[in-house]
Chain A
Amino acid sequence: MVDLSPLRDAIIDGNAKMAKALTDQALKEGTDPQSIVTTYLIPAMDEVGRRFECNEYFVPELLIAARAMKGSMELIRPLLVKGGVQPIATVAIGTVKGDLHDIGKNLVASMLEGGGFTVVDLGVDVAPEKFVASVQEKGVNIICLSALLTTTMPAMKDTIAALNSAGLRGKVKVMIGGAPVIQRYSDEIGADGYSDNASSAVQLARKLAAAA
């Protein structure tokens, strides 16, 4: 396989044009699409996440890198689908009922997409029933709940209760996050995991998907 480290660097630098051009060229040269993803794109986003976690990168750099990654994925995804490659898991993400904060939620969604997940974005102010419906209708395996307000955190608990009532709790993993959320709260309400940033959210989702 040709050395595509310039592609990895283009993603890390958020150079969408370059990333797309290099991906296009690699595919035309017959490089295996799956190996582009696993050898270059996902490690690139992991590196971006690492830099974000140690404050070397800031949200704008993260978003720009995620955009570059998406551009490459647009070229690769149809080929993966054609080849019968399944996404790691399908994630439904939303900001819980009563809460309109979505910058963090969007960032987590972008990073999950970059990490190879299929993401269903349910938006903000999402009622528990909508999360339930996403599992029933879209075959979601992981639910990501974001809450930024003390007053909306209980909506996370309500969502888990709604999944229980619908008899779906055993079918999905629930991850939670947002500024006031802590691990103890996740344990308290019986979520499957918590993470305090978009990069570690991807690691957590991978762990949960593997355990599912």
Chain B
Amino acid sequence: MSTPSSLWQGPVADGPDFTRNLGAMLAGGRSARPTLFEFYHNVPLIRRIAGDRPGEPDYVREIRAWAALGYDHANLGARNGFCFKAGDRHRDRSISLNEGAVISDRDSCERYPWPQVEALDWSYLDIAAAALVPGQVLMASGPGGVLENVISLVGFERLCELISDDPDLVQHIVDRVGSCLLAYYQRVAPHPGVGLLMSNDDWGFKTQTMLSPRQMRRFVFPWHERIVAAGHAAGKPVVLHSCGNLSPVMDDVIDGLKYNGKHSYEDGITPVEEAFSRWGSRIAILGGIDVDYLCRSPIAEVHRRTAALVAAADGRWAAGTGNSVPEWVPQESFLALIDAGVGGRPRVRHAA
């Protein structure tokens, strides 16, 4: 499995300790030791780290891999089918131009099979919690966020038209999606295995937010505010994963919505070092080593950049990628990030 030259030297020896590390950072303090943050890892990487145990649910294997890599948390999306199903998309035509969209008016909105959160089976949470090692917590993430799901149900171009033609209908659809997501987070937040929530909703692209900041404040943010409040009511911090250029709304994220942490950064938008100096004293900056950079840079350079920010941030940054670890990220480059990110914490060496 692991090659002799590999940076994968085996699991970190000191186990997770959410409360003193990532949790402390999200509470506005400093992590007691260098720690990590991620959204998700690809399956071959998870398999390499955690191996395969027959009969084990994939999310349990993931939880083992997160602990071995040195995280204080493990991401867990809904594993009971909670999602907003959109229609099929045909690849030979434009997909966002209403294709795959299933809601176009009030009727189709009423007919849509909205998920019945309370009727779903939540036992996966207990199974996942039982797989945690001491000090490790689950991060409950959503099946996409408020804006993402509205876009996939309505179609982006159509949504833009409706905002101008029938804003009340837009509000109605947003409220349906938002109330389902809020019910989900209210359901998972109090679970003893859940240590934090992630509200994952891509808001932007290279230069802007997908909707104008004014439209974001009107339609999208009120539901985010409620989701954050649901986490806080259960005593759990809440982090935002959102791609794109959010500079014009970062004050809303921090002061209005009251998120504890922000994830997703791109060098072409705001390099994580810049994000850290702009917002790092007001919100925990999580991950941020650009995915494209990670794919293209020499391993030693990835290590150097990560180690430099770990040192500069002094417990106010959790090392990780700018987005996630899809399959095409070279494993050794990612492991270099991890190695620098855990700041030399000792490892349990692999048996040969």
- A residues bordering B, Cβ < 8 Å? 14, 55, 57-61, 63-64, 67, 100, 102-106, 121, 123-125, 150-151, 179-180, 182, 196-197
CB contact between A106 and one of B94, B159, B213, B291 (< 8 Å): that residue: B94
Number of B interface residues at 8 Å Cβ cutoff, please give it.
33
Q: Report Cα–Cα, A14/B161, bound state, in Å.
A: 10
- Asked if residues A61 and B212 are in contact (CB atoms below 8 Å), the reply is yes
Contacts of A124 in B (CB 8 A): 91, 93-95
B268 on the A face (CB < 8 A): yes
**What string of 1s and 0s marks CB contacts (under 8 Å) between B153-178 and chain A?**
00011011101100000000000000
Given contacts A60-B212, A103-B210, could you give 12 more A-B pairs where the C-beta distance is less than 8 Å?
A14-B164, A55-B248, A59-B210, A60-B159, A104-B205, A106-B97, A121-B94, A123-B91, A124-B91, A124-B94, A124-B95, A180-B292
Q: Is the interface of A mostly helix, strand, loop or mixed?
A: loop
Q: Which residue of chain A lies nearest to B208 when distances are taken between CB atoms in the complex?
A: A58
Contacts of A102 in B (CB 8 A): 94-97
A/B interface sample: 29 pairs, CB < 8 A: A57-B212, A58-B211, A58-B212, A58-B213, A59-B211, A60-B163, A60-B164, A60-B212, A63-B157, A63-B160, A63-B161, A64-B161, A67-B161, A100-B89, A100-B91, A102-B94, A103-B96, A106-B94, A106-B96, A124-B94, A150-B291, A150-B292, A150-B296, A150-B328, A151-B328, A179-B266, A179-B268, A196-B206, A197-B207
- Asked if residues A150 and B295 are in contact (CB atoms below 8 Å), the reply is yes
CB contact between B91 and one of A61, A121, A125 (< 8 Å): that residue: A125
Q: Report Cα–Cα, A105/B164, bound state, in Å.
A: 22
Nearest CB of B to A152, in Å: 10
Nearest CB of A to B202, in Å: 11
Q: Report Cα–Cα, A197/B208, bound state, in Å.
A: 11
Interface residues of B in 90-119 (CB under 8 A from A): 91-97
Q: Report Cα–Cα, A103/B291, bound state, in Å.
A: 21
Q: Which residue of chain A lies nearest to B158 when distances are taken between CB atoms in the complex?
A: A63
- Asked if residues B95 and A60 are in contact (CB atoms below 8 Å), the reply is no
The 6 closest A-B pairs by CB, nearest first: A58-B212, A60-B160, A63-B160, A125-B91, A123-B93, A150-B292
Q: Report Cα–Cα, A179/B291, bound state, in Å.
A: 12
Q: Which residue of chain B lies nearest to A57 when distances are taken between CB atoms in the complex?
A: B212
Nearest CB of B to A73, in Å: 17
Q: Report Cα–Cα, A100/B95, bound state, in Å.
A: 8
- Asked if residues B295 and A103 are in contact (CB atoms below 8 Å), the reply is no
**What string of 1s and 0s marks CB contacts (under 8 Å) between B126-170 and chain A?**
000000000000000000000000000000110111011000000
- Asked if residues A64 and B160 are in contact (CB atoms below 8 Å), the reply is yes
Contacts of B291 in A (CB 8 A): 150
B31 on the A face (CB < 8 A): no
B260 on the A face (CB < 8 A): no
Q: Which residue of chain A lies nearest to B209 when distances are taken between CB atoms in the complex?
A: A58
Q: Report Cα–Cα, A64/B211, bound state, in Å.
A: 12
Interface residues of B in 295-328 (CB under 8 A from A): 295-296, 328
B215 on the A face (CB < 8 A): yes
Q: Report Cα–Cα, A196/B91, bound state, in Å.
A: 24
Q: Report Cα–Cα, A43/B83, bound state, in Å.
A: 44
Nearest CB of A to B191, in Å: 34
Contacts of B96 in A (CB 8 A): 102-103, 106
Q: Report Cα–Cα, A197/B156, bound state, in Å.
A: 18
Contacts of B91 in A (CB 8 A): 100, 123-125
Contacts of A180 in B (CB 8 A): 268, 292
Q: Which residue of chain B lies nearest to A122 when distances are taken between CB atoms in the complex?
A: B92
Contacts of A182 in B (CB 8 A): 268
Nearest CB of A to B330, in Å: 11
Contacts of B156 in A (CB 8 A): 103
Nearest CB of B to A18, in Å: 13
Max chain B Cβ within 10 angstroms of own Cβ: one of A58, A64, A105, A121: A58
Q: Which residue of chain B lies nearest to A15 when distances are taken between CB atoms in the complex?
A: B164
Q: Report Cα–Cα, A162/B227, bound state, in Å.
A: 50
**What string of 1s and 0s marks CB contacts (under 8 Å) between B223-244 and chain A?**
0000000000000000000000
Nearest CB of A to B165, in Å: 9
Q: Report Cα–Cα, A31/B296, bound state, in Å.
A: 56
Q: Which residue of chain B lies nearest to A109 when distances are taken between CB atoms in the complex?
A: B94
Contacts of B157 in A (CB 8 A): 63, 106
CB contact between B164 and one of A64, A100, A196, A197 (< 8 Å): that residue: A64
**What string of 1s and 0s marks CB contacts (under 8 Å) between B285-297 and chain A?**
0000001100110
Contacts of B296 in A (CB 8 A): 150
- Asked if residues B93 and A179 are in contact (CB atoms below 8 Å), the reply is no
Nearest CB of B to A100, in Å: 6
Contacts of B215 in A (CB 8 A): 58, 60
- Asked if residues B207 and A55 are in contact (CB atoms below 8 Å), the reply is yes
Contacts of B295 in A (CB 8 A): 150
Interface residues of B in 234-280 (CB under 8 A from A): 248, 266, 268
Nearest CB of A to B71, in Å: 24
- Asked if residues B205 and A179 are in contact (CB atoms below 8 Å), the reply is yes
CB contact between B208 and one of A14, A55, A67, A123 (< 8 Å): that residue: A55
